[in-house]
C-alpha cells in the first residue's frame, strides 16, 4: 500500500492503493510508519510524497464511513507530516481530492503537474473536509478562494492552484516524478501551513453566505463548511481543527451524508451490466445519424457534436430541417452567452453537422438514433427502411420513451443490433440515458450503447422493455393520482408544493406544464372526456402557450389560474364528486409512495438491474433531490412499513388496478431493504 524508494538523500513515499489511492486504514498506518522511519534515517534529508498510477489520491476511503473508525486517523498522519523536521513535499499528478489534498496541505511544499486537478469535494458527500482542509486551505489561499473551493466542492486546475498559492511550483509532466525529486533536493527548512495567518477579509463570509443562501438552504454540509472556515479566522488552529472534527463526526452519520454516499456508489454501480464481464467488446462509433430534427432529435445531436463527432440529421421537409438546425444553433449560442461555451466550440460543433432530407445519407453511420414522435407504426416503418440501408454492424437505436423496443426491432432483420437510447428532455442538458435492452439486443450493442452515452457526458442506466421503462413508468401513477386529486379537491399549488417542499425542482403539474399538457392528447377540441382534454381544448397547453395548470408571465413565472379552478370545479360537479380537503399525507402517499410501489414492481420484474439504478434514473432524469438518495433509498430510510401502510391507507382512492408490489409487501413484512 505504501512503497518507498531512496534517491540518495530524497526518500520517495508512494501511495499505492489501486484504483484511486484511497486513504483507508491500511494506507494510513503504513504511511504513518514510513514517515516515522524516515525521521530516524540519517541518509534521508527530504521526503517526497506522491501517488502511484494515474493520480495522487482520491481522499478518504468512503466505504469506511459506514464502519466504526479503526487505526490511526488521517488528521494524526497529517499532523505528523506537518511536524516533521525534515521537509515533506507533495508531488501531485492526476487528481488530489478530499483527504488527498488535505494530506498535501499538511506537507511543507506542493508541486503539481500542469494537468493536475485539486479539490475538496467532501460537500458533495454531505460532509466537510475532516482532516484539516477547512483550517489549512484558507491559510494558504485566503478566505474567498477557500470558501469557493470548499463550499462548491469543485476542483481547480493546476494553473489556478499555482496562481492562488495552493501549489508552489508546476513540474514537467513527462519528467514526473524525476523533476519533482530534483526540486525536492534543493529544499531546506519546512514551511508550515499551520503557522500562517488567515487575513480577516472584512465581510467575505457574510457576503458569501448571503449569495449562496438559496442554493444551500436545505443542506447541512455547506453550512458546516462555512462555520468551520469562519473558525480558521477566529480561532487558533488547534481549536479550529477540533471544531472541524466535531462537525465532521456530526455530519458523517447523518441522513444527508448517507444519501449522498448512496448516490455516489449508485452512479458507479449503474455503469455495470450485471451479467456481462467488464471486458465485453464494443463496436467503434465515429459517425452518428439522427432521424428527426425536432426538440429531441436536435438536443440529442447537440451532445454528439459537442463531443466532436460527425452527425447526419435527417428530416422529412426542408422547413422542419431548417427550424431544427436553427434551434440547435440558438441553444448553443445561448450557452455561449452564459460563458458555458466559447464561440469556437459553437462553430466547431455546427461544422460537424450534416443536415439532409436524404434518408440514404444514414448508410455509412455507425449509430443511428431515431427520434420521431411516439407512434409504433411510424417507428416500425422507419426501422424497416433503416434495415434496408444501414451498413452491416451499425447500431440502430430508438429514443422512444414508452414503446416496445422488441416490437420496433421486429421490423428489421437484425434485432440484435437494435436497442433503446432514451434521452430526457432537454436532451442537451439532462444527464440520464435509459439504455433499453431488448430481448434480442447483442451484448456488444448494449456495452457500446453504455459507452457512447458516457462519452457524451451522460449517465447511462440499463432498463429492460416495458411500457415507459423505469422513469416514465413510475411517473404514470404519480401523474394519474395528481389528476385525480385535483378533481377530489386539491389545488395544483398544493400538490406541487408538497413536491417542491420535498426538494423536487418542480411538482407533477408544473412538470406537465413544462413538457406540454397536450402530449398524448387526441387533438379533438369537441371531445372532452378528461381534465387534460378540457385544458387542451381551452388552449392551455402548458408553458409553450403561457397557460397550463398555471398562468405564465414572459419570464415563465407561474401564478394560480382562476380559469383552471373553474374547469376543475366544472368537472367535479359533472362527475358528481363532492369537494373534500386533501391532506399533504395523502398527496405524499398517492404520488410518492405509488412511485416507490411501481419501482418495486420494476425491480421484481427485472426491468431494472438493481434498486439503486432506479435511484440514479430519478436523480439524473427528474431532479430527485440528491440528499434524499433516490426514491428506493428514501423508501428504505423512512421504512418500507411506512410506505406500505401509507399505500394501504389510501388504496381505495389510488385508482383502478392499484395493487401493492409483491416485493414491497414481502420486504416490509421482513423489515428489509428494497434491493433484492
In the complex, the residues that contact ligand CAA under the rule CB under 6 A are: 19-20, 22, 58-63, 74, 95, 97-99, 102, 121-122, 125, 129-131, 265, 268
Closest CA to 189 of 86, 281, 111: 86
Cα–Cα distance between 93 and 53 in angstroms, integer? 9
Tell me if residue 374 is catalytic. Answer: no
Neighbour-count burial of 440, counting CB atoms closer than 10 A to its CB (0-12 exposed, 13-18 middle, 19+ buried) = middle
The whole-angstrom separation of Cα 569 and Cα 141 is: 61
Q: Is residue 366 exposed (0-12), middle (13-18) or buried (19+ Cβ within 10 Å)?
A: buried
CA-wise closest residue to 59 among 29, 14, 24, 94:
24
Distance CA 422, CA 467 (A): 13
Cα–Cα distance, 453 to 278 (Å, whole number):
16
Residue closer to ligand CAA by CB (options 122, 513) is 122
Tell me the C-alpha distance between 314 and 316, whole Å. Answer: 7
Q: Which of 12, 36, 64, 102 is catalytic?
A: 102
The whole-angstrom separation of Cα 235 and Cα 243 is: 10
Q: Are 290 and 368 in contact (CB under 8 A)?
A: yes
Residue whose C-alpha cell is 452518428 = 288
102 is catalytic: yes
For residue 474, how many other CB atoms are within 10 A of its CB?
24
Positive or negative: CA dihedral 345, 347, 353, 355: positive
Strand pairing class (353-356; 367-370): unpaired
Taking the C-alpha atoms of residue 386 and residue 397, their distance in angstroms, rounded to an integer, is: 10
CA angle 158, 159, 165 (to 5 degrees): 85
**Strands across the sheet with 95-97, in order?**
95-97, 117-119, 156-157
Give the distance from CA 596 to its chain's centroid: 20
CA dist., res. 501 & res. 192, Å (int): 46
460: left (phi over 0), alpha (psi -120 to 50) or beta: beta
User: Under a CB-based contact definition with an 8 Å cutoff, are residues 368 and 389 in contact?
Assistant: no
Q: Which helix (H) or strand (E) holds 290?
A: strand 287-291
364 Cβ contact list (under 8 Å, min separation 6): 287, 391
The catalytic position among 12, 82, 122, 586 is 122
Under 8 Å between Cβ of 190 and 85: yes
Residues tagged active-site: 102, 122
Amino acid at each position: 500500500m505504501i512503497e518507498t524508494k531512496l534517491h540518495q538523500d530524497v526518500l520517495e513515499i508512494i501511495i499505492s492503493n489501486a484504483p484511486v489511492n484511497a486513504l483507508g486504514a491500511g494506507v494510513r498506518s503504513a504511511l504513518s510508519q514510513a514517515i516515522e522511519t524516515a525521521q530516524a534515517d540519517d541518509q534521508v534529508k527530504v521526503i517526497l510524497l506522491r501517488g502511484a498510477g494515474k493520480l495522487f489520491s482520491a481522499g478518504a476511503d468512503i466505504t469506511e464511513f459506514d464502519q466504526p473508525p479503526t487505526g490511526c486517523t488521517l488528521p494524526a498522519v497529517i499532523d505528523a507530516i506537518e511536524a516533521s523536521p525534515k521537509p515533506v513535499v507533495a508531488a501531485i499528478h492526476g487528481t488530489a481530492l478530499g483527504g488527498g489534498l488535505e494530506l498535501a496541505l499538511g506537507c511543507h511544499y506542493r508541486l503539481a503537474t500542469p494537468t493536475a486537478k485539486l479539490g475538496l469535494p467532501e460537500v458533495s458527500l454531505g460532509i466537510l473536509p475532516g482532516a484539516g482542509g477547512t483550517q489549512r486551505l484558507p491559510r494558504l489561499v485566503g478566505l474567498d478562494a477557500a470558501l469557493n473551493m470548499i463550499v462548491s466542492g469543485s476542483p481547480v486546475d493546476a494553473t489556478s492552484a499555482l496562481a492562488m498559492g495552493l501549489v508552489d511550483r508546476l513540474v514537467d509532466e513527462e519528467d514526473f516524478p524525476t523533476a519533482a525529486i530534483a526540486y525536492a533536493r534543493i529544499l531546506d527548512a519546512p514551511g508550515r501551513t499551520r503557522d500562517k495567518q488567515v487575513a480577516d477579509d472584512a465581510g467575505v463570509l457574510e457576503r458569501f453566505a448571503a449569495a449562496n443562501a438559496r442554493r444551500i438552504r436545505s443542506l447541512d454540509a455547506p453550512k458546516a463548511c462555512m462555520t468551520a472556515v469562519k473558525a480558521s479566522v477566529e480561532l487558533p488552529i488547534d481549536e479550529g481543527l477540533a471544531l472541524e472534527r466535531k462537525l465532521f463526526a456530526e455530519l458523517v452519520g447523518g441522513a444527508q451524508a448517507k444519501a449522498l454516499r448512496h448516490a455516489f456508489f449508485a452512479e458507479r454501480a449503474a455503469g455495470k451490466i450485471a451479467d456481462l464481464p467488464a471486458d465485453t467488446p464494443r463496436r467503434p462509433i465515429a459517425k452518428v445519424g439522427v432521424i428527426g430534427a425536432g426538440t429531441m432529435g436536435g438536443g440529442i445531436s447537440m451532445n454528439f457534436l459537442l463531443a466532436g463527432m460527425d452527425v447526419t440529421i435527417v428530416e422529412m421537409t426542408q422547413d422542419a430541417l431548417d427550424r431544427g438546425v436553427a434551434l440547435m444553433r440558438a441553444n448553443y449560442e445561448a450557452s455561449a452567452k452564459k460563458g458555458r461555451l466559447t464561440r469556437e466550440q459553437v462553430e466547431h460543433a455546427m461544422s460537424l453537422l450534416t443536415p439532409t432530407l436524404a434518408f440514404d445519407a444514414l448508410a455509412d453511420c455507425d449509430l443511428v438514433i431515431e427520434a420521431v414522435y411516439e407512434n409504433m407504426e411510424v417507428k416500425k416503418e422507419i426501422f424497416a427502411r433503416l434495415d434496408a440501408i444501414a451498413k452491416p454492424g451499425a447500431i440502430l437505436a430508438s429514443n422512444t420513451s414508452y414503446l416496445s423496443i422488441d416490437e420496433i426491432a421486429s421490423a428489421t432483420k437484425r434485432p440484435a443490433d437494435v436497442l433503446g437510447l432514451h434521452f430526457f428532455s432537454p436532451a442537451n442538458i439532462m444527464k440520464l440515458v435509459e439504455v433499453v435492452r431488448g430481448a434480442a439486443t447483442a451484448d456488444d450493442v448494449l456495452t457500446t450503447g453504455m459507452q457512447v452515452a458516457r462519452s457524451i457526458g451522460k449517465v447511462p442506466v440499463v432498463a429492460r422493455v416495458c411500457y415507459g421503462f423505469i422513469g416514465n413508468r413510475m411517473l404514470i401513477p404519480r401523474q394519474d393520482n395528481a389528476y385525480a386529486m385535483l378533481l377530489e379537491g386539491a389545488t395544483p399549488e398544493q400538490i406541487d408544493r408538497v413536491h417542491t417542499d420535498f426538494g423536487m425542482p418542480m411538482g407533477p403539474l408544473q412538470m406537465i406544464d413544462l413538457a406540454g399538457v397536450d402530449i398524448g392528447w387526441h387533438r379533438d377540441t369537441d371531445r372532452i372526456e378528461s381534465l387534460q382534454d378540457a385544458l387542451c381544448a381551452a388552449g392551455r397547453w402548458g408553458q409553450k402557450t403561457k397557460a397550463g395548470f398555471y398562468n405564465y408571465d414572459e419570464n415563465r413565472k407561474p401564478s394560480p389560474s382562476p380559469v383552471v379552478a373553474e374547469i376543475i370545479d366544472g368537472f367535479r360537479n359533472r362527475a358528481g364528486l363532492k369537494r373534500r380537503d386533501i391532506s399533504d399525507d395523502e398527496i405524499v402517499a398517492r404520488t410518492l409512495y405509488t412511485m416507490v410501489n411501481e419501482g418495486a414492481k420494476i425491480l421484481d420484474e427485472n426491468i431494472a438491474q438493481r434498486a439503486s439504478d432506479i435511484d440514479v434514473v430519478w436523480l439524473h432524469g427528474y431532479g430527485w433531490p440528491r440528499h434524499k438518495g433516490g426514491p428506493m433509498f428514501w423508501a428504505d430510510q423512512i421504512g418500507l412499513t411506512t410506505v406500505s401502510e401509507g399505500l394501504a391507507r389510501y388504496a381505495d382512492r389510488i385508482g383502478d388496478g392499484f395493487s401493492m408490489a409483491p416485493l414491497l409487501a414481502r420486504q416490509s413484512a421482513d423489515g428489509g431493504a428494497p434491493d433484492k
